[in-house]
Structure formats: structure tokens, C-alpha cells
Amino acid sequence: MTHYSALTLIRKALGGNQGWTRAWRNAESKPGYDVVIVGGGGHGLATAYYLAKEHGVTSVAVIEKGYVGGGNTGRNTTIIRSNYMIDGNTRFYEKSLQLWEGMSLDLNFNVMLSQRGQLNLCHSPAQMDAAARRGNIMRLNDIDAELLTREEVQRKVPILDFSEHARFPIFGALFQQRAGTARHDAVAWAYARAADRLGVDIIQGCEVKGFLRDGGRIVGVETTRGLVRAQKVGLAVAGHTSHLARMAGLRLPVESHVLQAFVTEPVKPVLDSVVSFGAAHFYVSQDDKGGLVMGSDLENYNSYGQRGDLPVIEETMADVKALIPLASRLRIVRQWSGIVDMTMDGSPIICKSPIDGLYIDGGWNYGGFKATPAAGWCFAHTLANDEPHELNSRFTLDRFRRGYQMDEKGMGPTPWAH
Ligand SMILES: Cc1cc2nc3c(=O)[nH]c(=O)nc-3n(C[C@H](O)[C@H](O)[C@H](O)COP(=O)(O)OP(=O)(O)OC[C@H]3O[C@@H](n4cnc5c(N)ncnc54)[C@H](O)[C@@H]3O)c2cc1C
């Protein structure tokens, strides 16, 4: 890593920021690679990094139609947690959280992991029972979890409405201290730089428009900059998973929807943990500049248009005001959206596809940011070994055919989700 003295930083800033060393090469494509990853978001870049680092596969290209981190990786509300409950999810998401905990050191890049804790609020005795069950299962899997009483929640997050006439009375919460947030685009940059150093070519501004075939096998991609051959092609294209798979002749049980997020004007520190609302659907944290960052529900229609509509904003703001009265005096200064790929059970897909040479990482619904390191780690294992790691062995495509769905509350469109 290049180190700059304070004086150099000031000189560069005053000199119009000329002459910085590139963090990663702007690679031109070679004619062929062992592995081509489509999609330069966190997942694609992490996959490339772990392919090189863990499996010695360095003939790898990441092909990105826009710029690194310009997709959902740079658009999410940055929440990281491992409070999952069903087999197949618990250990996978815990592995991810552990990788997050070592990431800045491993990649030599500060991804600003903030383990400020996350509360899933409960608004009824039944929700407290469900939270206790989830928490117990987490603890049995060595994942930290605490069931908080109403008084404990009030001490932690006094800005919530604890009055007698609160529209959503708070009974308690399930709390995970190791959960929190990370700087989203730093994650993409960190993996990009580390993968580049190991020889991976990152090719930006290059769209995959089709696939090369040899009989039934995929042997490369057709791009806006020409053909690129590959022994294996991995898709990590988030909201465009079904679109790309369709080009390869595969129909996936995936729908693309718009998911919005919002940020308020900055205020002094009022919220030092992440809060997920348990009655309807929104989640909120305070960013480093002081804005309250919030996300909520999907637009219910299918779309590739990266913009949301007013009704979701209105509904979310009504809930936010009901739960956090001081928010009624804040202005929303920015709103943005991403396209999320929703599977029918809310769980992801990381597997070899039925088409030889084609592998899929997708179907991340609301929650693929937290999965970035483990998804990359498992996808790299699957690509390198032609079989899943135990951690992603349940994230198959054929579970939909066999009826073995992984329908966990908290993954798909439910009050626990994000
Ligand atoms: C508003 C919002 C809030 C969210 N909040 C959270 C949260 O708090 N916590 C959480 O865990 N998750 C959250 N998510 C989900 C999370 O952001 C995603 O699941 C995750 O970032 C997906 O990462 P990725 O690398 O797969 O996708 P992306 O970062 O989207 O990368 C995919 C890349 O593929 C590229 N691509 C697409 N088609 C092609 C093509 N034909 N050729 C070449 N490149 C192509 C795209 O340009 C894109 O850069 C949120 C999502 C949204 C939209």
C-alpha cells in the first residue's frame, strides 16, 4: 500500500489531486481466462479475491458494465448482522460476520466496520416469544444474542416513542451487539484493490450481452468490447440475475424489484445502534455525518428502473414518525434505489447452474450486503472445486424444484427483513 505523509496529502489536494497512484489497474481484457465473473459489485470482487487468495486461481476477470461498486453495493443501507435462525443460514451469516471482523486487516483497507449493535424491536408478546426462540437458536450456534426488556430498549434508544399512547408499543427487542454497519463502497474498493494485486483483471465499462457456447457448455461471454473466452463463467449481477440467466437459456425463480432508501438532514448524535422496526417495515441508523439512514419495503411491481415511487416513501415516513417522534421535524434530503433480485423463499442462490460452465451467485433479496464476504468466499469455493462448500450447500437452485425452500422470516419481505 502506498503511504502518503500529511504534507503530501495537502500538496496533492492543493494541486488539484493530480498524480494519485491508481488503487487498481484499469485492465483491458485478454482473449481468455480460467474464470470470468460478471458483475463488479462486492460479491463479484470478493469472489475474484478469494479465488486468487484461497484457491490460487489468478486467471480471473471481473467484467462490470458500469463502475466498481456502482450497483447495489453502493446503494444499500449498510446493515450487517448474523441473527439468522434456520439451518443453512445461521452458520453462513456468522461466517460472513467473522470475515467482516477481519476484513480491514485482511485487505489492508479500512472498511469502517462499526459494530454498534442492532435491535429488532418487538411490539407484542408473540413477537417477544419469537425473538426469544430466535435468540436461543443463535446462542446455541455460538452467535451473540440478547433479549432486551422494554426498559433496556428505552435506555439504549431513548428517541423511540415509549409514551402511553404510542401507536406501536415497545415490548422489548432482540439485540445483537456484533451487528452494525460498514462503509459500503469501501468494501468494493478494498476487494478490487486486493484482487488486482493478486493478478485479477477488473474491466469496467464493459457490458455482457450474451454467452459463448460450445455445444451445451458456456465457454465465454459476448461483451460490448468483444468476446472473452472462459472455462467458467460466474454471475454476480444482483438485480439482473434473471436477465443474465435468461440470456444463457435459464429461467430462474427470481423477480426484480425496486428497493428504496432515504437519508435525512444531519443532526447531532441521537442514535448509536441500528434499529429495525418490528411492526411494519423499516430500519434506521445514523451515519457519520449525522443523517438518519432508512430503508423500507419493496415497490410491489417488477422493474429494472432504478427509481422508487412516492407511496413507499409516504408509508415509511408515517411509520418513522410514529416510532421516532423527533423525526417529524427532519427533512429527507436524499432518496435513492437499487434493483434487488427476490427469490420465492427469500434465500439466496450460490451454486453451479444446470448449464455446464455457468455458476450463479444471486437472489440476495434485501440482504446481500452483509453476505458479501461469505458469498464471495463460498462462490469462489464452488467455482474452484465444482461443488459447494458446506456453508452454501443449501443455497441450491434445485431446492425450488424439490420443495426444500429456505423460508426464514427475516430474509424475504417480512417485518424482520433488510
Ligand atoms: C436500497 C437498498 C438497501 C439495502 N440495504 C441492505 C442492508 O442494509 N443490508 C444488506 O445486507 N443488504 C442490503 N441491500 C442488499 C444489498 O445491497 C445487495 O444484496 C448486495 O449489495 C448485492 O451485491 P452484489 O455485488 O451482488 O450486487 P451489485 O453491487 O449490484 O453488483 C452487481 C454488478 O453487476 C453489474 N452488472 C449487471 N448486469 C451486467 C452485465 N450485463 N454486464 C456486466 N455487469 C453487469 C452491475 O452494474 C453491478 O455493478 C440493500 C439493497 C438496496 C437496493
Residue 409 has pLDDT above 80, yes or no: no
Structural domain count of the chain = 2
pLDDT at site 3 = 67
pLDDT reading at 257 higher than 50: yes
With respect to residue 356, please indicate whether it lies within any of the assigned structural domains.
yes
Question: Is the pLDDT at 297 greater than 90, yes or no?
Answer: no
CA 150 to ligand 1 center in whole angstroms: 35
pLDDT digits (tens, 9 = 90+) for 32-41: 999 999 999 9
Beta-sheet strand order (sheet of 332-343): 146-149, 172-176, 118-122, 274-276, 283-286, 292-302, 254-264, 332-343
Task: Give CA–CA dist 47/233, Å, rounded.
Answer: 12
User: Which CATH number characterizes residue 101's domain?
Assistant: 3.50.50.60
**Mean pLDDT along residues 56-61:** 98
Q: What is the mean pLDDT of residues 307-334?
A: 92
pLDDT for 187-228, tens place per residue?
Answer: 999 999 999 999 999 999 999 999 999 999 999 999 999 999
In a domain, 415, yes or no: no
Find cell 447531532 and name the residue. Answer: 268
Burial (Cβ within 10 Å: 0-12, 13-18, ≥19) of residue 383: buried
- The ligand 1 site (C-beta within 6 Å) comprises 38-44, 63-66, 70-73, 75-79, 207-208, 236-238, 240, 244, 259-261, 295, 338, 340, 364, 366-370, 418
Average pLDDT rounded to a whole number, residues 244-266: 95
Same domain, residue pair 37 and 102: yes
Range of the domain at 99: 24-110+183-254+345-402
Judged against a pLDDT cut of 50, whether residue 88 lies above it is answered with yes
Q: Are residues 169 and 297 in the same domain?
A: yes
Model confidence at 1: pLDDT above 60: no
350 and 338, same domain (yes or no): no
Least reliable range by pLDDT among 154-158, 306-310, 365-369: 306-310
pLDDT of 276 > 50? The answer is yes
CA 72 / ligand 1 centre spacing (Å):
3
> Which of the listed residues 309, 332, 366 should we mutate to test ligand 1's pocket, taking the one with most ligand atoms within 8 A of CB?
366
Supply the pTM of this predicted model.
0.95
Rounded distance from Cα 278 to ligand 1 centre (Å): 25
Cell of 173: 427487542
In the prediction, which pLDDT does 118 show? 97
